[in-house]
Structure 1
Amino acid sequence: MVNHRRRACNRGRKKMKKIVSMIVVSIMAMSLCACTDKADQSASAGGSSVQQSEEFTEQLSTDSAAESEAESTEEPATRIITDSTGRDVEIPSRVESIVCVGVGALRYSCYMDAAGLVVGVEDYEVKEGMSRLYNYVNFDKFKDLPVTGTNGEPNIEEIITAGPQVIVMSSYASADADDLQAKSGIPVVMVPGSDTTLDDNAYETIRIMGELYGKEDRAQELTAYLKGIQKDLDDRTADIPEEDKPSVYVAGVSFKGAHGFEGTEAYYGPFELIHANNLANTTDQTGAFDIDLEQVLTWDPEIIFLDFNGMSLINEDYADNPDYYQNLTAVKEGKVYSQISFRSSASNLETALADAYYAACIMYPEQFSDIDPVEKAGEIFTALLGTNPYEDLKEAGYEFRQITIGE
């Protein structure tokens, strides 16, 4: 009985050992799995950290490259421009405000479509002038601006108050560029300006202004257009034999004020462009001058052109001395024609070119049979000024037409 109980007890112990062993094995297995999972998780976490680190480093590199590129493409605050006198002038990278000093500086700035940059003008620009079309079409911009000078003489205090970034000064100004720059503390850029129709100075002024205003495309466009005008006029007239050219005389030309029939000009700009037989060229004079009226009778020009600026004086003289005029063949035959005044504060290029085409249509009708001078004037005005004020000129009495002196 006792032995039976012992055997039963032993069997119970063995069974318990098996159960305990199974429990231990299970715990060990679970621990091993847990360790394996942690190792896997650790490895995974480690891999993720490495990947994140690599991505962060790559982003830093990208950001640094972008910053370097931005720094390399950032526009500098200033730049250097060489003006017409060879001076190297430091100016803002983008010029947004100017004051013009001297004849031609504002005119050519308007041709360059830069009238909106102007923050001060010379005294005569606050008075509307139809003989200066650049002023006429931009008068609303100019009329209320501060007066910063008088006829090429700058008012330094007013310029400083106006606060332009750059002073643009033509060679016709009375000031010294370095002195004005030193006294005002404002960069001064010189341009040659031009007192004739088309010359190297005109093109150089356009080129410098294109660089100054950041309008190189406009400078190239304007230069190409003007050279095309020159070529067209030259191609039509250069080969006309001298004997086939009518003799011509222009009167009423303005210089230092209005002049009557005696006021003429040798190498008159519009005539030079069309190779005209200008009788004043046979004198020893250059430019505008007063001629002895008896010389005009001796010449007896085939065609006479009258500048509107002198018309009132010419009509007054006609009233006092009609016989003089009636002895001129051109007057008797009705071959007296207009020239729209282009010389006011030096030459106004757009009007001078329009005058050249009109005169050519009168002198050489065959060579210019395809040209309507009024339409051509409108084209030229629009190309240089951005608008066509011909009808306004006509309403004011300035137009291309035949003239009867005394009326």
Structure 2
Amino acid sequence: MTSDTLRTPAALRRTARRIALAHRLAPDDRARLVLSVGQVADPVLAAGHPVTLTSRHEASPHGNGSLTLTLRLPTRDAVTTPATARLPLPGRQTTDGAVYWHLATPPAPPAPAPHHGPLPPPHGRPARTAPEDATDLALAEEELRAVLAKADNLTAEHRKLKHELAETNSGVLALYVQLDERDEEQRRSHGRTLRALEDALRPKPLDVEGLELAVHYAPASTDDPTGGDLYDWFVLPDGTVHITIVDALGHGIASTRTALNVTHTVRTLALEGHPLDTIVARTDQILAPLDHSVMATVLLTRFDPATGEVHLANGSHPPALLVRADGTATYLMARGRGIGFPLPGSDSVVTAALARDDLIVLYTDGLTESRRDPFEGERRLLLAAGRHRGRPTAEIPAAIAGEVLTDVLHKDDTLAIAVRFPARPPGRRPEPGGPSPLTP
């Protein structure tokens, strides 16, 4: 163990450097140690107090060793010393105010071979005959070079990591683009499949002399273009046109299945000639044993294209809207309870006579309850239908939906059908093919 009492910063740094050099510390560790010792002692030395630097080295059987360098201050409260944890080489402080550093030392080099003649200065440093500050300067330059080399290596590593990170980010971005393109293609394929399924579920357009029909359908979500709103239309054997509007509870495929079951059952009963006012109740009787969860509202209408006579039966569904040629409008209120409801069936059949160019709008509640207020929705529908009744029939359902469905608070499947009794009289009436279902 060695101990030196020092009074100047230069002497302190030379002593610390000598100790570090004697124990073969790496130049960057040596530089950090010298800077740390000076940073702690400089305020004390500047105040005129000496300091004591003690070193103790312990060898290890494996060749490595440990060096403990202790800086003792004259009094703990003589000056304020910097925080030891923030030094270039962090140290520890004892209870009496001393600061010490504990460092690992490399193994001692092998003994040099016998040499005849003068020895060259070690590591290119000036020989011992050179002035002491010249030697100290050379060592300081060596330490600085080591620190700069380490900093350059860190800079190069940082630059390399940035380059690798940029390449990784570029690869990840390209992967994201590929995944997004694949997902977009899957969405398009999914949409095409669902649209094909939706088209398969909808009945073919009807071309009936004496009536003009048009339909607009919009799902609650573009990701799921099928839902519980469904319609069916067909011509009965006597030439009248039957239209069924169904709104099954829920959304998606399950509600579509329910709506299909209802429309197919209604179509079968209508073609069998069942009276209009019995079809809602009879449909419930058929479906309830097969599916206890079935629940749907229905609106059944029969149009006579020759006379303009229309009959309606209702099962808990929003009423049809009649818009006259002069612009006046009224709702055709037919009361009843839907499929799966208590006491299902239509209470009565409502009949109306259409004049030339009159219009009837059939719809589901997604059109009138988008703001959660059906009365406000029906008022907006009545006004919109009056404004758009002069359009071509094919444009009316979408135009009405576009005006009514603004500031939507509750998204739902939406279905609207426009049926016009056109101004031109029909050229002929289809041949009768059976009993008229217009008789309640």
- TM-score class, shorter: under 0.3
The higher radius of gyration belongs to 2
TM-score, with structure 1 as normaliser:
0.28
Per residue, is there more strand in 1 or in 2?
Answer: 2
Higher helix share: 1
Instruction: Name the TM-score, length of structure 2 as normaliser.
Output: 0.26
